[in-house]
Amino acid sequence: MGSLHPRAIVQFLTLLTVANAAPVLTAKFLGTLFSLPIDRGAQFLDGRPVFGPSKTVRGIVVAVLATTLTSRLIGLDWDLGILVGAVAMAGDLLSSFVKRRLGRPPSSRMTGVDQVPESLLPLLACRQLLSFTPADIAVVAVTFFAGDVLLSRLLYVLRIRDRPY
């Protein structure tokens, strides 16, 4: 299965955390300022929103910029930060798309659907760049899953999130 790469795992988890926290923090501090929904209110064939109003251009831009800056601060190339931020947000959009198809409201929690695409897609996109083994991928995915649950609760306690998930 290969040996673990602890430093790369921590760096990658840092980028994933930044990618997912940046839009939430930005929304908390800016409210609806510059908040344009990605789907612009469009509906899919089933009559439901494509993504919903909480998935914004601002959120994606902030996530990519934040991961790019963070990648440089933690000793990684800026292009890796762009890749992680962009693909994490693509995973977030995929999970929102799936939840809308299942009739779940925007910002609702769906364990697994919320975490897996946001971590696994960037992991797969970066696995060769970071020489990740299957064991590294498993460690990052499981740690991100657990961390997401804990961090969401912490952000709720700190009144940054409106819900504890």
Q: What is the pLDDT of residues 67-77, one digit of tens each?
A: 999 999 999 99
pLDDT score recorded for residue 164: 66
Mean pLDDT for the chain overall: 91
pLDDT score recorded for residue 82: 98
pLDDT score recorded for residue 165: 62
Helix (H, G, I), strand (E, B) or coil at 34: coil
Mean pLDDT of 53-64: 96
Query: Would you say 95 and 109 are in contact if contact means Cβ atoms under 8 Å apart?
Result: no
Helix (H, G, I), strand (E, B) or coil at 103: coil
Query: Would you say 1 and 135 are in contact if contact means Cβ atoms under 8 Å apart?
Result: yes
pTM of the model: 0.88
For 17, half-sphere exposure in the C-beta direction (CA atoms, 13 angstrom radius) is: 18
112 CB-near residues (< 8 Å, 6+ apart): 145
Which pLDDT band, with edges at 50, 70 and 90, does 47 fall under? very high
- For the beta carbon of residue 57, count every other beta carbon within 10 angstroms: 13
- Exposure string for 129-151, b = 16+ CB within 10 A, e = fewer: ebebeeebbebbbebbbebbeeb
* Virtual torsion, Cα 127, 12, 119, 150, nearest 10 deg: 150
